[in-house]
Structure 1
Amino acid sequence: MSAAHPLGGDAPPGLAVAPPLPDLYPRRQAYGRIRRVWRRHPTIVIGGAILLVVALMAVLAPYLGTVDPTAISTSRRTRVPSGQYWFGTDMLGRDIYSRVVYGARVSLLVGFAVALFASVAGLVVGLVSGMVRWADGIIMRIVDGLMSIPPILLAIALMALTRGSVGNVILAITVAEIPRVARLVRGVVLSLREQPYVEAAVTTGTRMPMIIWRHILPNTLAPMTVQATYICASAMIAESILSFIGAGVPPATPSWGNIMAEGRALWQVKFYIILFPAIFLSLTVLAVNLVGDGLRDALDPRMAKDV
């Protein structure tokens, strides 16, 4: 009896066709890749997983059993956590669970927006300062003056000149964080422009914009990316501080800083009003810092464990 041909029909006489083997290699390869990433960079995996959960919580807030976070009900003031009110209620009867879930949107928006804008602006300032010698002294003196002021105090001063809103909070914290990125990029550029391949490009007549694009910019992205994660975490804390002291987003906007600010008068007897937003803020900042530490180890060849 002749063997069946895999495309249909019988095989020609004298030709044996082996049955198809199960396709197990791709799944093993994918599993091995995940295990390898976990073994080499566990902090990135853990921090990224926490960030993903918080981001999904912010995006899917209306579908997570929440109610209107701004709805006031004097008949249910300061209720303790229960099956009906998971995180309790505040002194205005607003559901703390709903306010905490929606508050994730403000913190993530401020953190990622500040990290993006401060990184881009600091990258431009650092590149100009590092490559243009005559402008270096002027720019660095301005940066030194800004860095002499604590970032949170500078943000408070800037917020005092404007009205409270999420956009103004992002702008104030971004201005306070730009000097950190600019000084980091400038230091990297000063070391790169003395490298032989950069000097060779200058000798051959390559224009400065092309040198920056091909040789300088790619080598600044790794340290700048790591710095951006720390700026993101710092921005979340700064936003909470500004909201806590009444200089951040409007009090009606649910944010973790506003929730803690509203509960500070009752924290000795109703500590849960501050406890839950503080836990979520701490976990989110911890996750961002874990991702930053993991990226530093992954992008720095000197920190690599496997060659």
Structure 2
Amino acid sequence: MDIQNMQAFVSVAELRSLTEAAQKLNHLQSNMTAKIKKLETYYGTALFYRKPRGMELTPAGEILYAQYKQILLLWQDTEMKMRPQEEKLRVGTMQSIVAGETTRALTKVYEMYPQVSVTLKTGTTTEMEQFILDGELDIAFVTGYPTNPYIHYQKICREELVLVGKGIHEGSDLQQVLQGASIIILSDSCLYLTHLEKMYQDMQLTHSEVVEVGIFDTMVEFALMGMGITLMSKKLARQFKVASYLPVPPVFGYMDTYLISRPNHKMTAIEHKFIEINNTI
């Protein structure tokens, strides 16, 4: 088995599409199909169910995916260790985090290591996890919960959450703030939306439309203009000089931040320094 066949299989399994996997790996779709058929012939069993909505792993495919994933992670780690490496920092973060301490930490790292090559990607927790698994990033900051067995999660901190919107203050009635309000979020896959939806469900309340803005600064501005409400950490609310906000009840009021990496990734001196600076800001 060669690495390219493994990469092809894993990409099809994760994307559930031959077309998207071919685009990701810069292959012709016919080549991807041939690679999958070659694997199925080699193992003497079907690895995918071909369905109208996409490719779905068979039980045998699930076993092979777990094995190939571990092999590819080890291969990526070996490549990193064996090839001469330039001074680099490949880090990812969510937009809500990059708006604060991450940007300042990167500035300080540049001052200490002027020759460092920096790659910074932003996105959702799911996107950051995929960047790590694909070897496009080495470390990333995410919020939420440890869910992927192929990723190492290190808890960094627990953030207190607050609701922000026009006229909202510490004495506001939570049910009145939530009922019928429009929700402003960064993206429809944002964990803060999932968190808010759980609040609405548990409190048996309903909200109006969900407004996706994509830019953190804009999200805050829209909320303060009265276009809806948004959820964020108290730390970020203070960084953006939000004058008043409503703390969320303890049962809903916290979200953990994690540093993630591949399990076999060995932290470099630059990464250690970046994390150290980031944690002290």
What TM-score range do you get, normalising by the shorter chain? Answer: under 0.3
More helix per residue? 1
TM-score calculated relative to the size of structure 2: 0.22
In our comparison, the structure showing a higher alpha carbon Rg is 1
TM-score calculated relative to the size of structure 1: 0.21
More strand per residue? 2
